Structures are given as structure tokens and as C-alpha cells.
Structure 1
């Protein structure tokens, strides 16, 4: 896939609305994205990792949103911050659709509870459309599939345990064409949600989406992952 010339004043969406139920009791009074790593809230690490091309940021908030808004404010290191409230919390696809009228051309999407490096995000932004993935031997529900040219080709469910699988890292480069496709509905913990990555399966049939491999990625979705993130924070800082 041909790389493109960088464009300034790009937009980014950071998904930070969740309740962090798997991280109780830490998240009973603090939103997950504000939990500290090396003395700095997780969300601020994510903001610091954004490429310089990003000048406008939309934070999708919900649970304990006032804490996030008070901490980050309306300007972050010269970048404009907007807030959009997601209610109900019905999936990442729905969260992006809240911003349909505001997102133009290409835009970044990031989870608000994962550690990324600036170098990886800069490599991601070099592609017209892309998904960041991380190889794992762990058991995961869905593994991203690549064709012979490294383009996204859908998901494999419950891949064999001995196989190397590609876990989606929650970082994407998309454009306005995303909104042409019906949101894919999935079931998570017996609740229906509208999934961003599964919607991309239909989009990928018409639009080539590159799979880009992360050099470092640390999700922070459980208490165990939070401990790993604290222990691995020095690796993240040296790779940023």
C-alpha cells in the first residue's frame, strides 16, 4: 500500500467513556483513563503519544466525565480538545457515529485505556487507512487476518491456541467512508454492542486497510494489566 504525504491539522478521537468494571475497586471513584502510570494519568500518556499532525482531539466520555474534563480542559499543548458524551455505552462503533458530523477526511481513533508509542502511531498515520495490531500467543476471541499483501481481511474466531494471533490494539486510521457502512452488532457479556473493528470487515472489501504491527502496546483493561503497565512503563517511555 502506498504511503501518503503527512497533513497537518488532522483529527483524533480517544474513546474514554467506559466504567472500568474489571478494574474495581480502583475505578469506583476514578475513571480508568485517569489512573496513574509513573505519576502521570494514562490519558496524558496517550495524548503525549499523538503525532504532531493531530491538532484537534475529540474525547468520548461518559463515566465520571467531569473528572476527565476538569483534568484535561479545552487545550492540550496547543491542541484543541472537544468532549462528546456517550450514553448509553453501546460500543465503539456507536461512539464514532456520535462524531459523524465533525470528522473530516482522515482521522485517528485510539482507545483511552491503552499505552501506545509515538513511533508506532507515526507509522500508522503514514497509511491512508490502517489498524494497529500486536502478535500474541494468548487466547483471544477474535484474531485479525491479513492477506498476502498485509491488508486486513477480516477476523478469525477462536483461533487454535498454538497459533500466533493478531490482536487489534484499538488504534486506527480511518476516513469518512467509514460512515457509509452499517454498524456491526456483536454481543459482549450478554449485551449487544455496535463494534468499530467488526464494521471494518465490510469496509475492507471496498477499501484497502493496512495492518501495522506495534513495537510496543500495553492494554490496561484489568487489574492484572494495570500492574503490567506499571512494571512496563519504563519500556514505553524509552520507545516513545
Structure 2
């Protein structure tokens, strides 16, 4: 059986973190999101088929041509958007075998795949999909069921309880016949849910497996923080492979990678994960649910809490990084502070694709892209985004989003904004 992973999307809602890479390669707990998908599929498949499009070279570079000794085949998505078109792209690579399809930008536990395959085989079904019950279906299509059978999939019904489709499927090859008959949806995409409705209408057997475990649809920046917290809380093992100087306090569980040096006075309260060849301290405070990548520097008088700092980034002097995401190869100047709490303690709202969305979090700091340079004594308001490749000059108060590649400086008490170069 082959495992098909849908990884062609850009991830617009995750910008600026996806400015130059597909969302499935973003690291959470120091591993690309797509690796968690591959890991859970691995026991059930003999080959992976990766459907790609946007910045596909970054994904190939990240994964290579195999995972745990099983080959990965990369397939360009056919023209057109939507999950049905993405699945159709894999037709020539799955042949006449049954196959599994998983969205590449979700997190789930292995039990979801076990239940999926069990019901698919037991019911001798044409399709099986994994469902989860939610109290609020505002962000999900509703799946109507009768026993093990799926009777139909509807658009988002609003704030009502019900079963939602998690983006995990088992198919017989007959699905391709129905995908080719699937028309464009109202939002201009070829949706696999429309294909399922066609199959149900034609009398094909579509069944479901119920899943009660943790699941995360990584669609917005704060979803990365939620997944990071879950992984560190539930999966982290205490392992110290780097060098820890005398005078360091470590409260387990903390993972410290090879080549990393933790200098005297550092105080680390787990769960915390630190990658390889990083420099930590002296005299810093790293609080729970923090991931720090490879080749990073967290230095003197720096406090980091519930945050993701990606590879090659630095918070070297007098910084506070709280409930924030810092992309790769970004540097925070001395005195840079990320504010993470509104004065009224209300939920932080974040601009996503031109409109403000409630993050559901009353603590959320900055979302900083890749290759950003931040000057000294910069203050960043809660929920603000700084685009990749930007330069923030000394003393700036970042009270609105900064587009990618922007220069922001203070001159004669005025903030000047312009494109770099």
C-alpha cells in the first residue's frame, strides 16, 4: 500500500513563515511538520508519494528520496487547485492498489491510521475517512453519518456540534473515476468532499473511523505554537547530549542536542528542546514549551517562554521572546521585546489574508519571518507580523504588520517605511 501526502499548498495564512517555503517544512519541536505525517504512515505503507507544487525544491531538499528506508516519489500537482486535483495527480503512481491519502499540514497520532485501515478492510469499503467530533463546526464541513456509513458532506454549518473530516483517507482506485467527474466548487477548487458526495450518490460504500486523539490543522501561525506545546508536553524525553557548564540549572525534561553549549547561570525549565551546535547563556531564562533550533544563540539576560526559535536565529542580549515564532536566520538586536498580552487581557487578534482573526489566545507575541534583522531597543506589539527579509531599525515600535522586504527606521521622530534596496 502506498501513502500519498498532499503537500502542494503555499500556506497563505501562515505568512510570513511561508514566504519562501511550503508550510509542511516548517519546523515544530525542531522537526518539519511533514515528518510527523510520514512517521505515522510508515508502519502501514511501503512507499510514499508526495504531491508538490509551491517551492517544491525546499521539500525535496528537506526530505531527500527516502524516509526510514522507504522511497519517496515527488509528483507535481496537475493544473487546478483543490484536494481532488491533488489526489488525481498521484493516479499514475498508485496503480491498481488501495492507497492512503493524508493532508501534509496536519498532525495526528498513529491510532488514527490504525482505525482507518481497520474499518476500511472490515467494511470492504470503497472509501474510508477519519472523523472527529467537535462542539463547534464553524471552521469545518459537517459529515453526516449513519452507523459506520457516511451519508454526505455539507458546507460549514456554523457554530453547532458534529463530525468533521480530518483529511485522512483510504481509497480504492475507483475513486479516480469519480474525481474526473468532479466539477469546480463555489470557491473555484476541485474538492475531494464533492467527489465523496458523487460516490455516495452512486451507491458506493463510504465509511468512517472515529478518532478521539489530538489533531491539529496547521493553518495559522498560532497553530504551530499549539502543536509545539503538545509535542513538548507529551513526546519529549530528557536527554543532554551537549555540554553543560557548572552553575546551570535544568528542570527536566529538557533535550539538548550535540555540540550545544549551555553556559553558567542559564536556568532552563522543561519541557524545552534545544537543537545542535547552539549557544545558550550565560545567565538566561528559558521557560517551558520553548523550542530552539540548530545553530542558535540565546545569550545574556534573555528570557524565552512558550516560543519557537528556528534554525540559525539569535536572541543574544537583553531580549524577551514570549509566545512568539522567530523564523530561520533572524537576529534580534539588544533590548528587543515581544509584547504578548493586551492591557485588557482580551484575545489577541491577528491579520490573516487581509482580515483580523481571533487567535483564541490571550497571550500571543510576534510572528517574525526568515532572514529578519531587528535593531536595538525595538518593541513589537502582540500578534504583529514582520515579513521575511525585513530590516527594523533601532528604537522602532512595531505596532502594525511589516511586509516582507521592508526597511523600517525612526528618523527625526517619524517612522519611515520603504522597500529594501
Could you tell me how far 1:202 is from its partner in structure 2? Answer: 1.5
1:57 counterpart residue number:
48
2:176 counterpart residue number:
179
List alignment gaps of at least 5 residues for structure 1: 1-9
Distance in 2, Cα, partners of 1:93 & 1:197: 8
Distance 1:101 1:87, change over 3 A: closer
Distance 1:57 1:158, change over 3 A: closer
Could you tell me how far 1:88 is from its partner in structure 2? Answer: 3.7
Distance in 1, Cα, partners of 2:9 & 2:59: 12
List alignment gaps of at least 5 residues for structure 2: 121-126, 237-421
Could you tell me how far 1:102 is from its partner in structure 2? Answer: 2.2
Could you tell me how far 1:60 is from its partner in structure 2? Answer: 0.5
Distance in 1, Cα, partners of 2:161 & 2:234: 23
2:129 counterpart residue number:
131
Length-normalised TM-score, structure 1? 0.86
1:90 aligns with 2:89: no
2:148 counterpart residue number:
150
2:229 pairs with 225, 228, 231, which one?
231
Could you tell me how far 1:141 is from its partner in structure 2? Answer: 5.0
Distance 1:25 1:74, change over 3 A: same
Distance in 2, Cα, partners of 1:235 & 1:154: 37
1:165 aligns with 2:165: no
2:197 pairs with 198, 201, 204, which one?
201
Matched residue SS, 1:12: strand
- After TM superposition, which residue ranges in structure 1, 4 or more long, deviate above 4 angstroms? none
Structure showing the higher helix proportion among its residues: 1
Could you tell me how far 1:62 is from its partner in structure 2? Answer: 0.9
Length-normalised TM-score, structure 2? 0.51
Asked if the contact 1:13/1:107 (under 8 Å) is kept, the reply is: yes
Could you tell me how far 1:197 is from its partner in structure 2? Answer: 2.0
Distance in 2, Cα, partners of 1:62 & 1:38: 25
1:11 counterpart residue number:
2
Matched residue SS, 1:102: helix
Asked if the contact 2:24/2:32 (under 8 Å) is kept, the reply is: yes
Distance in 2, Cα, partners of 1:44 & 1:96: 20
Matched residue SS, 1:33: helix
Distance in 1, Cα, partners of 2:67 & 2:156: 40
Matched residue SS, 1:120: helix
Distance in 2, Cα, partners of 1:35 & 1:102: 26
RMSD of aligned residue pairs (Cα, Å): 1.8
Distance 1:237 1:108, change over 3 A: farther
Q: Which moved more, 1:222-231 or 1:21-30?
A: 222-231
Asked if the contact 1:159/1:165 (under 8 Å) is kept, the reply is: no
